[in-house]
Structure 1
């Protein structure tokens, strides 16, 4: 073990994390510059003068992330287009037309609406749609309004398990194989369903608590009054709902059933077809593409450039040295379970990371360490995928300011109300994942 390479690797990881947490440097600059400086130092440590090899390290790393970035470039605009046409609004309205409003139902509707809205992968839009829509109901039925951003935040995390979600694409970029995001999505689905059920139970609890305190007494609201809160725009295409739903279902079917077809092509096909059938004017199509392109920055370039970090850390030998250092420190009996220990404490640990440094600094290290004990990288990525602490960290998720402002509570109130509940769900998920075999190399019953 080269202790100096190990120390350089840990220093690189810490420096990237600190500069991003302190907002001293943009993600793109941190991922582009810091690993290159470390690469030159690594060559000096190993007494090598072959500086040209750094280019090969970069190429190897970016080669692992370019297909994921391409998918993001087409999948995110596709679902933003579907949101603009009113596809998700129409689904929500179809649900609201057939329910009788009460406090427990309102809390359950919060889960459903937030999950549907998060299908486009945009955290901001979920808060902007769900909280203004449902806050008046929370107030009229005397439900603790701190419940609203809490439920929405957990729902956002739950629905990050879709093959096109930015969180899933970050996780999938760590696994160098075709269709990685679809593969992870399918394997994580039992855990996702479990968390949805847990969140619905929590929602019913808070609704019943409000009802038992008299929140439902002499309170009524018509479905028409609730539906009136949905506003159409010039982009709304109610007449295309069936076609848009059919196209979306077809794309998801293609992702799952034909994993040999490049994922980015599936969504490239979907995007151009959706634009063509919804908007016949090519000038309007181009305007929409420019609008959606702005939402890709800096996330898509950050995913691409994360390959620089991964490539330099792996190809230079830093990651291997860091793993050996960890193996010397962590007691051997704990080695095979170290990733599960990290997962159990993921909520408070996430306060020390951003989303990018969680996926591109911590997870690769824990993954490489666990592989030495026979735990596949895929299992580690699945176990550490749903980083719950992001939803109480304004550094990792600055959109939380939007949520609290819309809800009319302070950030302190939100964090105090949310922290222990999030951590509890985090622990329940890990326990379920172990029992169900999702988070183990082999099921317990094998």
Structure 2
């Protein structure tokens, strides 16, 4: 019964948001409550939901101050030189703009964090997209593909989970993943070119000027003390993030306070800058806390555990020799419906134990388990995707429908690359 409810709840949620019967916010709140009641957990739902909200509270706080910080930096003109450089390089060509988005997403994504990648990339490219008429969904799809590849870096969450669960050396695993990630990055740029070509056929070359793109932005000189301060502060913030010197929410809170004090020193200016970006903040944080309700009920009712056990038991016995390939393919739906913790610490060890009987080692299983990460980013359990949709003001359900085929393409390319370099074997 619980297994049926689990699958039915996920299917119902996806149908409602993709058909636009409900907004993602309402669906995240009401669908799990309805199915929780059907499962006989009505009296326990309050505690489950509160636990889920508490679990995602740090993410909500981090995104609140991250959005305010980077929007403030945009207002202060920090990204103006980057925007001018991009404008000179792309020259109004949608193909170059979309490929440039992919390259910037891959470069900024070196920190392994989707939220900061989305904020910086949208700050740099959003004016160009709006003036040229390129669909914002194209930017969302390209950035999701880019961070889907960069999310496999050692300092990102999934990598450390896979290495820990499989008890393999992090350095050795990373060297195995490098050619696979390179192949994924090449695919992202190729896919971006295809998407850009579609927009080029629709729009042609578009003439835009620096003044048009930077209209409404602060005009600030490179030797201005405030610009230098903002550049140093942002560099220090990203460095501290990569070194994990402090929890992310605290880092962004401190950075926001310092940036606000220097760039908007008066009380009235500070009120105005917060009010100006309040809509973006509220749209994202509401979804984060609603996702906490979804996660809390799935975990508290045992739905996550039920899905994990069921997905493992339905695998046919004769598939053992291809367990690493199967794991790579199954990591797409597994990490879509489950949290990374549930997959890497709950499902992967069982798959690896089965694979060991057929001579497939844990390192190979760790590689296979990471390949499905690009699809994981579309999961309703991933907070940063709500941020991306909020920043670009696009429908969450439309984004799921459009981006899914491209992210599946990334997974398949990385799987072929893994087989090609021998990281995954198909014959034993």
- Deviation, structure 1 residue 68: 1.5
Contact 2:82/2:124 (8 A) holds in 1: no
| Alignment match of 2:230 (pick from 238, 244, 251) | 244
| Alignment match of 1:303 (pick from 280, 283, 288) | 288
CA deviations on 1:72-121 (whole Å, 9 max, x unpaired) are 11112212222222222312434666899999977765645677898453
Contact 2:98/2:192 (8 A) holds in 1: yes
Alpha-carbon distance in 2 for matches of 1:74, 1:361: 27
| Alignment match of 1:369 (pick from 323, 333, 347) | 347
CA deviations on 1:248-267 (whole Å, 9 max, x unpaired) are 1101111122x252110001
Contact 1:83/1:120 (8 A) holds in 2: no
Alpha-carbon distance in 2 for matches of 1:37, 1:206: 39
In structure 2, the gaps of 5 or more residues are: 109-115, 165-169, 198-204, 354-361, 379-384
CA deviations on 1:240-280 (whole Å, 9 max, x unpaired) are 332212111101111122x2521100011111111211122
* Matches for 1:43-442 after TM superposition, within 5 Å: 43=40, 52-94=43-85, 109=100, 111-112=102-103, 119-121=117-119, 128-131=126-129, 153-155=141-143, 157-159=145-147, 195-200=184-189, 227-233=210-216, 235-238=218-221, 239=224, 240-257=226-243, 259=244, 261-332=246-317, 333=320, 337-342=325-330, 359=336, 368-374=346-352, 382-387=370-375, 424-432=409-417
Contact 1:111/1:152 (8 A) holds in 2: no
Aligned-partner SS, 1:86: coil
Contact 1:62/1:311 (8 A) holds in 2: yes
Contact 1:69/1:304 (8 A) holds in 2: yes
Contact 1:110/1:130 (8 A) holds in 2: no
Pair 1:387–1:231, CA change in 2 (3 A): same
- Deviation, structure 1 residue 383: 3.5
Superposed CA RMSD: 5.5
Alpha-carbon distance in 2 for matches of 1:95, 1:66: 36
- TM, length-normalised to structure 2: 0.64
Alpha-carbon distance in 2 for matches of 1:29, 1:102: 39
- Deviation, structure 1 residue 126: 6.5
Pair 1:273–1:203, CA change in 2 (3 A): same
| Alignment match of 1:42 (pick from 25, 39, 43) | 39
Pair 1:321–1:387, CA change in 2 (3 A): closer
Alpha-carbon distance in 1 for matches of 2:143, 2:16: 29
Pair 1:11–1:207, CA change in 2 (3 A): closer
